Structure 1
Amino acid sequence: MNSLWEASKLSPFSTPFKKAECESASLVPGRSIAAAASSEVVFGSSKYYGLCAFGGLLSCGITHTLVVPLDLVKCRIQVNPEKYRSIVRGFKVTVAEEGAKALVKGWAPTFVGYSVQGICKFGFYEVFKSLYSDLLGEENAYMWRTSLYLAASASAEFFADIAYCPMEAIKVRIQTQPDFPSTLRKGAPLIYSQEGLSGFYKGLVPLWLRQIPYTMMKFACFERTVEALYKYAFSLPFLFFDDFSFFFLSELA
């Protein structure tokens, strides 16, 4: 946990509450930050971006897969609100007609799709954040950091949704169309044979309209929350942070 603390303190984006010093070390890749007790990860290196992408896989793929039953009922309410009038009734009708096993329909495209989306979202966010920071320069990047976070997250989500959209198309059809195959390996070839590649991207624009604003707010709020924690919590010398306290505040951010 101490190594994570040291790594967070050395991140060029984590503690911006100080006067910009253009003559000091730049924010461009090349800084070594401690990632574990026995190794180092160079900020901006391929390993650094790879770890960020892997974190996105874990945080998106696993969490969305765990709530597949709720997602299934939500989609069915949207498609057939007369039959599935509420969440509780949606669960009851689904189990009564198809059995409890039906509640996990669409888990495979959900896991694959959101894992890929998480990889692109978190990985590209760090890439675009560094890229835009280099384009602006250190002082401007600090002054306009919130806009930088918004631009980087929007750019990342744009590409993440392109990667995710095919799995979303398959998932929704599995969950809402009774005559559609119930597995990913059968559903994907069917869409391609009937509609071609465009069949996987019919919902891309609505997906962008939903996901890009959400991701912009998520990353910008996260970054500013981290800044607030460093300004009002971590910087107080009389506070003692044990491992549990640090974990709690990290999760809050």
Structure 2
Amino acid sequence: MATTRTSSMTSAPSQMLSLTAGMIAGAVEGAVTYPAEFVKTKAQFGGSKAEAPKLTSIITQTIRQKGIQGLYSGAGALIAGNALKAGVRFMTYDSIKALLVDERGKLSPVNGMLAGLGAGVCEAVIAVTPSETIKTKLIHDNASLNPKYSGMINGAVGIYKSEGVAGMYRGLVPTIMKQGANSMVRFSSFNALQDLALRFKSATTGGAKKLGSSETFTVGAGAGLITVYCTMPFDNIKTRMQALGAESRYSNSLDCFTKIIREEGTTRLWGGTTPRLARLMLSGGIIFTVYGKVVELAGSF
């Protein structure tokens, strides 16, 4: 997204508009897709591939023990963090993109990847790491027989009191790697797929200038699919590093990576792919579509 072709605007959105539109898109996307994130996170906790719980078992057991609301355990942290990170992501991407476009206003594939990488690193540091840490620990805690935390605020305060700032930012390195790779792949693949879709639409309809909402959703979903398979190992390492008790099991991200391969096999780096695939395809469709609509509506005033 974040290109003039998908909006009625004739210039790039302002930083405030990018931030606001991104936050709205992120909040909507987080609320809609959270159950898939919950299942993915539970599927990534330790254990060999043979010992890993089946996705259907996670869902049925959670509903049986906690009710439907159990699938939204830790949702507040992710929705709030998702809104902030999407706002930061789009604002940073649009700002870097404005610096890297050529004299014709075009962004090369390499510069597009650089803009996406920069956006991902910024969102990882500002929003993603603390919100993901809280979400992961709350999901892990909720699965125990005697949960310590009753909700997002209680959990955030408790985690901060017991582990400090370092605890809130545990897993920062793999999160930066994951979010940097996520945004780099997502934006560049979205732009490439969007170009293909626009060329196809133009050839079949005689000069289309932009994609409709359903077409943008489809392109965003395709970008989400590509992103999942390219970045899944980073996501698994991040989840392990942020789980309860991780500080006593892993000394750093590299140690976590080697232990997963040695003890559980390389394929476990792609553990939880199915629910993340469902979430990021839906996420990609929602977030690019909502962002584009908000920018377009703002441009009509």
- TM-score where L is the length of structure 2: 0.61
1:146 and 2:109 equivalent?
yes
Alignment-mate amino acid for residue 147 of structure 1: V
Task: Give 5+ residue unaligned stretches, structure 2.
Answer: 220-301
Question: Per the alignment, do residues 240 and 125 of structure 1 end up closer, same or farther by CA in structure 2, a change over 3 Å counting?
Answer: closer
Q: Give me the whole-angstrom Cα distance separating, in 1, the residues matched to 2:216 and 2:71.
A: 33
1:101 and 2:69 equivalent?
yes
Q: Give me the whole-angstrom Cα distance separating, in 1, the residues matched to 2:167 and 2:73.
A: 20
- The number of residue pairs the alignment matches comes to 210
Q: What is the correspondence of 1:1-253 to structure 2 with a 5 Å cutoff?
A: 11=4, 14=5, 35=9, 43-44=11-12, 48-79=14-45, 81=47, 85-133=53-101, 137-138=102-103, 142=106, 145-162=108-125, 163-177=127-141, 178=144, 179-234=147-202, 239=206, 246-253=212-219
- Structure 1 residue runs of 4 or more that deviate by more than 4 Å after TM superposition: 80-84
CA contact (8 A) 1:125 1:153 kept: yes
Alignment-mate amino acid for residue 247 of structure 1: S
Question: Per the alignment, do residues 219 and 97 of structure 1 end up closer, same or farther by CA in structure 2, a change over 3 Å counting?
Answer: same
Task: Give 5+ residue unaligned stretches, structure 1.
Answer: 1-7, 16-32, 36-41
Alignment-mate amino acid for residue 121 of structure 1: R
Larger radius of gyration: 1
Question: Per the alignment, do residues 43 and 97 of structure 1 end up closer, same or farther by CA in structure 2, a change over 3 Å counting?
Answer: same
Q: Give me the whole-angstrom Cα distance separating, in 2, the residues matched to 1:78 and 1:181.
A: 21
- Percent identity between matched residues is 20
CA contact (8 A) 1:153 1:219 kept: yes
Bigger shift: residues 203-212 or 53-62? 53-62
CA contact (8 A) 2:128 2:175 kept: no
Bigger shift: residues 47-56 or 159-168? 47-56
- 2:226 maps to what in 1? none
Q: Cα RMSD over matched residues?
A: 3.0
- 2:283 maps to what in 1? none
Indicate the structure whose relative CO is greater, using CA pairs within 8 Å and at least 6 residues apart.
2
Q: How much has 1:154 moved relative to structure 2?
A: 0.4
